[in-house]
Structure 1
Amino acid sequence: MSTFVIIYYKEVEKMLAVIGFIAICVWCPPLAVILIVLWILSMMFGG
């Protein structure tokens, strides 16, 4: 039961992140570009 809740929470978190990111793309595209660059850098250096 608890593992299901954790998985569900992570899925909701992903959906919220996507929705938030789309909102940023609509309202402030340069900020979206900066976030993408930061995300790529964190993926490269953070593993």
Structure 2
Amino acid sequence: MPYEWSPFATAMIFFVAGVTDWFDGYLARKLNQTTRFGAFIDLWRIR
């Protein structure tokens, strides 16, 4: 990968990771598949 693409690739990886993390949390709450650890991490991450 050319060096000039590195910032874009990094931003896209973080964006995709954030979207999939949000979607995973949404589905876990919707399907009642939450854990105490997941709830703790979500509270810590938002602050």
Q: TM-score range by the shorter chain?
A: 0.5 to 0.7
Residue in 2 that maps onto 1:3: 7
Partner SS for 1:12: helix
Instruction: Figure out how many residues of one structure are paired with residues of the other and give that number.
Output: 41
Give aligned-pair identity as a percent.
Answer: 8
Instruction: Identify which of structures 1 and 2 has the higher relative contact order when contacts are C-alpha pairs closer than 8 Å and 6+ apart.
Output: 1
For normalisation by structure 2, the TM-score amounts to 0.65
Moved beyond 2 Å, runs of 4+:
none
For normalisation by structure 1, the TM-score amounts to 0.65
Choose the corresponding residue for 2:22, options 10, 18, 24.
18
Q: Which runs of 5+ in 2 are unaligned?
A: none
* Structural RMSD (CA): 2.4
Pick the structure with greater CA Rg.
Answer: 2
